[in-house]
A and B are shown apart, each in its own frame.
Chain A
Amino acid sequence: EPEVTQTPSHQVTQMGQEVILRCVPISNHLYFYWYRQILGQKVEFLVSFYNNEISEKSEIFDDQFSVERPDGSNFTLKIRSTKLEDSAMYFCASRWTAVVLNTEAFFGQGTRLTVV
Chain B
Amino acid sequence: RKEVEQDPGPFNVPEGATVAFNCTYSNSASQSFFWYRQDCRKEPKLLMSVYSSGNEDGRFTAQLNRASQYISLLIRDSKLSDSATYLCVVSASNSGYALNFGKGTSLLVTP
A residues sitting closer than 8 Å to B (CB atoms) are 31, 33, 35, 41-45, 48, 55-56, 58-59, 89, 91, 93, 98-99, 101-110
Instruction: Answer yes or no: B17 CB below 8 A from chain A CBs.
Output: no
Distance in Å: Cβ of B81 to nearest Cβ of chain A: 19
Given A42-B102, A42-B103, A101 and B31 contact (CB-CB distance below 8 Å): yes
**Residue of B51, B95, B96 with highest tally of chain A CB at under 10 A:** B96
Return the contact of B42 from the options A33, A44, A45, A109 (Cβ within 8 A): A109
Given A104-B46, A108-B43, A93 and B32 contact (CB-CB distance below 8 Å): no
Return the contact of A56 from the options B42, B46, B98 (Cβ within 8 A): B98
The reply to whether B43 and A99 contact each other, CB–CB distance below 8 Å, is no
Instruction: Answer yes or no: B86 CB below 8 A from chain A CBs.
Output: no
* A44 cross-chain contacts in B, Cβ below 8 A: 101
Return the contact of A55 from the options B32, B46, B97 (Cβ within 8 A): B97
The reply to whether B99 and A33 contact each other, CB–CB distance below 8 Å, is yes
Could you pull out 9 A-B pairs where Cβ atoms are within 8 angstroms? A42-B102, A48-B96, A59-B1, A101-B31, A101-B32, A107-B44, A108-B43, A109-B43, A110-B42
Distance in Å: Cβ of A54 to nearest Cβ of chain B: 9
Return the contact of B103 from the options A41, A59, A105, A108 (Cβ within 8 A): A41
Return the contact of B49 from the options A58, A91, A104, A110 (Cβ within 8 A): A104
Distance in Å: Cβ of A108 to nearest Cβ of chain B: 6
- Cα A46 to Cα B95 in complex, Å, equals 12
* A104 cross-chain contacts in B, Cβ below 8 A: 34, 46, 49
Return the contact of B33 from the options A41, A102, A105 (Cβ within 8 A): A102
Instruction: Answer yes or no: B66 CB below 8 A from chain A CBs.
Output: no
